Amino acid sequence: MKFVYRWNETQFLYSALYDYQLGSQKDRRHLFFGLVLFAVTGILVIKWLDQGFQVIDLVFVLLGALWFGMRRRLLVWMFKRAFKRSGQEGLDLTFEVNEDGVNAQVDSRPPQHYDWTDIRRVLRTEKGFLLYPGLLWLPASGLQEDANLEEVAALFQRKVTNYKDKSRYRLKTAF
């Protein structure tokens, strides 16, 4: 089963946003966000009880609400900026998935082989698959005609113990 596609900003954004929203750091990020929100709220409540409400408090609350409302747009902007700076636009990628593992080819560089023991996690999304020996993106649009997504998913389920199907998950950030 072969995936062939050109690496561009859209493919990068799909892989980065799915990794950000569903990847292994998601729980840690939510815990940290909750702790920061709890601490800031506690500090404001203590300050209000001690000194009363002041105009500067409203400014801080409004800035926090603005950041909370804009954070997804900021995230997409940061990912786009990182991609433009990476110089990876237009790379031709080929991934071959078989019983032995995953073979990766980037342009004319030497091919890489990942055994199934190298792949710690596979995450199926509505737009493709994320593989974690690092982060490999196999978009559904790049799958060649000789196979279908269900066959690929079945192979990943057989070969990788940490397989998660999040194909019904919709990205919360449009770009």
pLDDT in tens, 94-151: 999 999 999 999 988 899 999 999 999 999 999 999 999 888 999 999 999 888 899 9
d(CA 53, CA 41) in angstroms, rounded, equals 13
9-37, pLDDT tens digit by residue? 999 999 999 999 888 778 788 899 899 88
Judgement on whether residues 81 and 92 belong to the same structural domain of the protein: no
CB 3 within 8 A of CB 142: yes
CATH number at residue 144: 2.30.29.30
- pTM of the model as a whole: 0.80
Question: How buried is residue 55: exposed, middle or buried, by Cβ count under 10 Å (0-12/13-18/19+)?
Answer: exposed
Judgement on whether residues 75 and 134 belong to the same structural domain of the protein: no
CB 132 within 8 A of CB 25: no
Residue 171 lies in a domain: no
Domain boundary among 37, 54, 86: 86
Judgement on whether residues 150 and 97 belong to the same structural domain of the protein: yes
34-63, pLDDT tens digit by residue? 998 899 889 888 888 888 888 888 888 899
- Report pLDDT for 38: 92
Residue 172 lies in a domain: no
Residue 116 lies in a domain: yes
Judgement on whether residues 100 and 62 belong to the same structural domain of the protein: no
Closest CA to 7 of 151, 172, 139: 139
Judgement on whether residues 56 and 120 belong to the same structural domain of the protein: no
For 131-168, the DSSP string reads ETTTTEEEEGGGB-TT--HHHHHHHHHHH-SSEEE-TT
Judgement on whether residues 119 and 150 belong to the same structural domain of the protein: yes
Residue 174 lies in a domain: no
Is residue 172 predicted with pLDDT exceeding 80? no
Element (H, E) at 112: strand 112-115
Judgement on whether residues 97 and 140 belong to the same structural domain of the protein: yes
Closest CA to 129 of 29, 14, 13: 14
Domain enclosing residue 32, as ranges: 14-86
Residue 173 lies in a domain: no
Tally the domains of the chain. 2
